[in-house]
Structure formats: C-alpha cells, structure tokens
Amino acid sequence: MAKIKIFFNTIWITAIVIVTLSLIWFLLGTTAFFKRGIDLVTTVYYLWIWIPALLFTSISIFLLKKGWFPKSLTVQIGLILVIIILTIFFSKNLFSQVNTEGWLHETSEKDFFQTTKDGKYKYQLELINLFQRNARAQLNVKDLATSEAMVLSIDIKLDDIGAILPRSENETIEEEILLWRWSELNPTDVATVYTLTTINLTSNQEVFEINMTEKTVRKIK
C-alpha cells in the first residue's frame, strides 16, 4: 500500500507542477509579461480553462497536504486516469494558446517603403509592439547615395492610435501609397534636415525635424 501511495502521489505532484507551469506561461504570455491587455477570446480561455486549471491545482495541493488517499484500488486507478487526462487537457490548451509576439518576439506593423522627393533617401515608418505598454516607433532610413542605413526613434503618441486602418497591399502604385501611407518625409531648405509628418495614424498629425547628418530627431508639432 505504501508503494502504491508513493506512486500515486508522484503522478499527482508531477501533474500539479506541469499544470502550474502552464498557468504561469499562459498568464505571462497572454499579457506579454503584463505589457498588454487581455482581449475577448483570451478572456474566454481564462474563464473556461485557466480558472478550472487553477482550481485543479489548488484542490490537489490541499488534498495532498491533508494526506488524503483513496483506499479503493478502483478509485485510485480512476483518479490517476482523471488526473492524467486533466493534466494533458489543461497543459495542451494553455501552452498552445499563448501568442509570443510582443513578448518573446516583437510584433511589427510597417508602412510602405517611400522615397523622399529629392531622391536622396528611402524610408519606412515602423510601429513595434503596437497597443502594448512597450510600444515604440522607429523610422528606417537608407541613404541611396552611400547605402548607409539608420534607425531613428520617433516619439509618436502611440496611445492615441485606436486602430490601424486596412490598407492596400499594392506597393507599386503611387496613388495607392499616397492614400494609405502613415508618414511623409520631406526635405527642407537645409540640405541635411528633413521633416517627418504622420498621416492616417491619429486624429492630429505629428511633425518631427530630422537631421540626417547628426541622426537626431526633434518633435516640432
């Protein structure tokens, strides 16, 4: 009987560990380590899988601490099968439903590639981890004369972006790009200074002054 109890408890403790790790993984993954909110679909998973899995581990820990052990061999076998089935069900669903983008892997929304009117630079605005607390924006610029590439941090008010409008996938038609683009980089009277204007992102346009030589960005509007 003692050996059976040790075997029984070993399986049960292993199940608790696996389900607990699944609970932690799901919590951290769905919130991007607490950097984003929970959507409707994820809320359903919390209600129907995460909370029952938490109850399973809580009740299991309570019963193990109390030293509870069924005397009937039939009940022991049946309970082991139930524990194994629940462990597989909870762990499989909790692990598989985690989106690692924006947490383990950054998620990115990119504007069309465009060229400045003077033909000197190719550029693209990129929004990283949008709708999360660790969201940021950057401007990817390439000097067409020297092929030098630079990445400039742009302090766009990303919290003001309610949603990204659906865009045309055709990047070869200039009219489509002008209609759906998120930014415009224009030369100024100073050769190395350009202005970046946001478009179709927030209700208010934002304007930045960019010095290509010094690689600096200053918000002017």
Q: Which tens digit of pLDDT belongs to each residue from 74-98?
A: 888 999 999 999 999 999 999 988 8
pLDDT-based confidence at residue 31 (cuts at 50, 70, 90): confident
Rounded to whole angstroms, how far apart are CA atoms 81 and 102? 37
- Check residues 159 and 79 and name the one with the higher pLDDT: 79
At residue 101 the predicted structure's pLDDT band, cuts being 50, 70 and 90, is low
* pLDDT above 80: residue 56: yes
Mean pLDDT of 52-80: 91
Judge whether residue 34 has pLDDT over 90: no
- Laid out side by side, the sheet with 193-198 consists of 183-187, 193-198, 207-211, 216-219
Average pLDDT over residues 99-127: 85
Q: How many CA atoms lie within 13 A of 18 on its CB side?
A: 18
**pLDDT of amino acid 168:** 54
> How far apart, in whole angstroms, are the C-alpha atoms of residue 70 and residue 81?
14
Q: What is the pLDDT of residues 132-142, one digit of tens each?
A: 888 899 999 99
Number of C-beta neighbours around residue 102 at 10 A: 22
Helix (H, G, I), strand (E, B) or coil at 17: helix
Name which residue leads in pLDDT, 163 or 12: 12
pLDDT at residue 38, as a whole number: 77
Tally of CB atoms within 10 A around 49? 19
pLDDT bracket for residue 7 (50, 70, 90): confident
**Region 35-39 average pLDDT:** 74
